Structure 1
Amino acid sequence: IIGSSPDPQFGPVLLFGTGGTLVEVFKDRSLGLPPLTTTLARRMVEDTKIYKALQGVRGRAPVDLAALDELLVRFSQLVVEQRWIKEIDINPLFVSSSNLIALDARVVLYEPEVTEDMLPELAIRAYPSQYVQPYTSTDQTEFVIRPIRPEDEPLMVKFHQTLSEQSVYLRYFRAFQYDQRVAHDRLIRICFVDYDRDIALVTEKSDPKTGEKEIVAAGRLSRIHGTDEAEFALLVNDACQDKGIGTETLRRLLEIGRDEGVKRVIAYLLTENRGMYHICKKLGFSFEREAELIKATIDL
């Protein structure tokens, strides 16, 4: 079964689990909030007992899990885009190694007296695709600067492999071991963003021959609770430094911050971080010393 129904606090809530006529007996289900990515869809599937059966048991072929993930993603998009749908479910959904077939479905719309402003809001803001933009570096390499996505975790692991100890120290103000930086619990928090609180951008390039993608820079703008200010952080692949990538990534962060209502952006830099100092200076930041650090500030 795949379904969606409204919750008073969270808005539309998605459901996946064992379906059929005994759905209320088995009560094997997992819940999620739209919009889903393929990574989040797979997590929903993995959180059910039927997942083991879907992988193939007693000689039966496994179902097409990638297609099931994609179906969940598209189902979540339907829920996001068609806000007048109050309840919807596909039950039963027949799944096999070659097919996904909806054998029955049900759709309930909101009552006629419900106005648009009364419709529940999404608990999670949709991916801000309006902030996806191309960029050409000073050496004419083509990049895409875009908000981070939950499925970027493997790319972020590879990104951290490209960072020198010096780059890591200048960013985190301390030695920070690779295995700690790429720990799953840490990266999932970085890649899964509440866009109303944080904006995280990655600068990505594609291999022209293989199409393989690589993240070469990552920047984040984090709102300071209770204020209209935000703090930024930025990391650039060592091989891609001094090519304007850090400057452009930060410039895009500032533009997005302005669009999102941020009035002031700050950052704290180590005094020896001359590269970041020059990037901030180029973009119009002002500076003041605070103990062993430099505080960079810009009003948007």
Structure 2
Amino acid sequence: MSERGVAHFGERYGGEGAAPRFAQWNEVIASLLGHRSVRRYIQKPLPEGTLELLVAAAQSAPSSSNLQLWSVLSVQDPDRRRRLAELAGGQAHVRDAGLFLVWLADLRRLGDLAKHRGAAHEGLDYLEMFVMAVVDAALAAQNALVAAESLGLGTVYIGALRNHPEAVAAELGLPAQVFAAFGLCVGWPDPAAPASIKPRLPQSVVLHHEQYGAFERSVGALDAYDRLMDGFYTKERMGVQGSWSHHSAARVASAQSLRGRDRLRAALSAMGFALK
């Protein structure tokens, strides 16, 4: 393992435990372990062809049955970016990043193709197809993110587009059966505001063997993670109130905690998804 990989591993787990000795190691894995969310960007143009290269990387991701039930929309217009930033809770990086991509769960294209070929397409009305489309979009987007970060670019996902799905659809001119699942900011990170690697839960919490383990076995590790994240919040001056456990539980405490996404099923129905 390279020195960079050892450092990234340590930051990812907050220095808890030594990095394992892998028989094989490469810089792709080091880049993955070094991911961090970048929310401050400098106003420097991206290299020519960046968008097309990222889309090619996205299209190289797996797709269930090769149905490719996703699309991506590049938003460059400053006014549209500003409006989307407000719909996403006032996140300035939506406006300021060199590139803003909206990843779409897209059942419309396959439905239109079936109609064009004179074929039935009732299956598109079922929840399974929507799940497939969201999974396809997520896999494609993550490929694009990994490609962008391998070029030295910074990224951050924008899930808050789901706070106002109908308004986002109207802003982007989305037809029925096309859903903006999330956005992705891409740009040159601002060196004056470096982002840190955020610690994740210990592997003992997320890794199960053979069958799902009892929650009780993870309590000690979760308490330790709370302490680790307390230090991270303080170091990064994030102003988070309470522990990670408290913050996470508050996020699911009520329908209101979902920040508008509690009505997502109704919004999807209005947008043409039957979800049978």
Same-fold call, TM > 0.5? no
Which entry has the higher C-alpha Rg, 1 or 2?
A: 1
Q: Which has the higher helix share?
A: 2
Q: Which structure has greater strand proportion?
A: 1
What TM-score do you get using the length of structure 2 for normalisation?
0.27
By relative contact order (CA 8 Å, sep 6+), the higher-ranking structure is 2
